[in-house]
């Protein structure tokens, strides 16, 4: 029982850490973002976020199926898809409101404000709202949530396969990923918009998380004679790709490199994930989670903190850009990092007690 609890503590910690990284990574003048994953690897926090989402989804599904039954688990994730869709609408509205506020204040030079969406909303408000409802328009940081809603809908099919026919699920996922770039025209999108995350490609990362939870591949390999060899190979891959990134190879990659989750990102992520799994097995991640419990609080409130983080990062990024004219300023950049991280931690810390107080007052 202790072992299971420890794994959940580590999962919460990693999810919280990646949410904090996502916030600073979307602040152009951030100083901390110069030292996060995307600076040294061809993957970034997005892969970690989606993989952990798959792992957490499988954990929740298996737990509910064990406590109740498969039907209850399937229905829960049908509802989860609706929750994520609502979260997308909230996030989209947040992006539009924040952008409109900065434009109204004359602070409209920041590059990440939702200018195209605001223009569309002003010229054709009814059509723009319909486009958002139909996922044809996805304002800025709201764009990751539509694919998550689709993933939640696919969970009732994917989880039984992950448990009983994992190779079939893996083969189907890889085949869909390989053909993903050809499926983009079939995604709903307004004429001036595109999906930042191709769900036909990114389902691979989500399902890798599901499979990692359902099948003990890492446990078997890491404890075998091949374990040290695989860890050594992972280290070599990480070092080689880090060198390639630092010397500027990324500049030669296609614009769709992230949108379609191209193979180099997958390889880089898998190598990093393997070594992180080694750290979890050794106990380093668990001890760090115990030293920094506030990060786990963010992870336990993942959807809420993602929504709050999008608003925080857009506000801080736009304000910092206005103050520095888009130039790097170390003191202001560090201050922006502290404000953004502090704000997200405050949201995670205050939300639970606030909900309980409101529940008492309304009961």
CA dist 305 and 299 (Å) reads: 8
* In the chain, % of residues over pLDDT 90: 88
The confidence score (pLDDT) of residue 286 equals 94
Q: How confident is the model at residue 2 (pLDDT cuts 50, 70, 90)?
A: very low
358 pLDDT above the threshold of 70: no
Q: Token pair for residue 309?
A: 């983080």
362 pLDDT above the threshold of 60: no
159 and 213 Cβ atoms separated by less than 8 Å: no
231 pLDDT above the threshold of 60: yes
Q: What is the mean pLDDT of residues 289-313?
A: 95
**Domain containing residue 22:** 2-362
Q: What is the mean pLDDT of residues 97-122?
A: 93
* In the chain, % of residues over pLDDT 70: 94
Cβ-Cβ contacts under 8 Å for 155 (sequence gap 6 or more): 57, 61, 74, 77, 80
Domains contained in the chain, number: 1
Q: What is the mean pLDDT of residues 236-264?
A: 91
210 pLDDT above the threshold of 90: yes
The confidence score (pLDDT) of residue 1 equals 35
The confidence score (pLDDT) of residue 361 equals 53
pTM for the model stands at 0.94
Give the three-state DSSP class for 190: coil
Q: For the chain, first and last CA: distance in Å?
A: 36
């Amino acid at each position: 029982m202790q072992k299971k609890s420890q794994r959940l503590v580590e999962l919460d910690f990693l999810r919280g850490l990646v949410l904090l990284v996502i916030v600073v990574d979307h602040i152009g003048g951030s100083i901390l973002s110069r030292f996060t994953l995307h600076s040294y690897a061809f993957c970034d926090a997005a892969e970690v976020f989606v993989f952990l989402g798959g792992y957490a989804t499988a954990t929740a599904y298996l737990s509910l199926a064990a406590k109740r039954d498969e039907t209850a688990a399937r229905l829960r994730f049908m509802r989860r898809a609706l929750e994520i869709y609502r979260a997308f609408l909230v996030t989209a509205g947040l992006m539009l409101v924040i952008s409109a506020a900065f434009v109204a204040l004359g602070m409209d030079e920041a590059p990440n404000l939702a200018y195209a969406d605001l223009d569309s909303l002003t010229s054709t408000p009814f059509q723009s709202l319909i486009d958002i409802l139909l996922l044809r328009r996805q304002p800025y940081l709201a764009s990751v949530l539509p694919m998550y809603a689709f993933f939640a809908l696919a969970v009732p099919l994917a989880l039984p396969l992950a448990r009983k026919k994992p190779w079939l699920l893996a083969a189907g996922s890889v085949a869909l990923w390989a053909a993903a770039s050809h499926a983009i025209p079939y995604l709903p999108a307004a004429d001036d918009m595109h999906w930042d995350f191709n769900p036909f490609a990114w389902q691979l990362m989500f399902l890798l998380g599901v499979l990692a939870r359902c099948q003990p591949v890492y446990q078997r390999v890491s404890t075998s004679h091949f374990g040290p060899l695989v860890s050594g190979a992972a280290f070599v891959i990480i070092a080689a790709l880090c060198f390639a990134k630092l010397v500027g190879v990324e500049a030669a990659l296609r614009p769709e490199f992230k949108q379609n989750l191209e193979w180099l990102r997958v390889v880089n992520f898998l190598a990093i994930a393997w070594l992180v799994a080694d750290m979890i097995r050794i106990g380093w991640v668990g001890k760090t989670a115990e030293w920094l419990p506030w990060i786990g609080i963010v992870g336990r409130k993942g959807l809420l903190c993602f929504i709050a983080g999008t608003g925080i990062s857009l506000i801080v990024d736009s304000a910092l850009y206005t103050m520095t004219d888009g130039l790097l300023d170390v003191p202001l950049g560090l201050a922006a990092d502290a404000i953004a991280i502090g704000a997200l931690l405050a949201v995670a810390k205050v939300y639970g007690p606030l909900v309980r107080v409101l529940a008492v007052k309304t009961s």
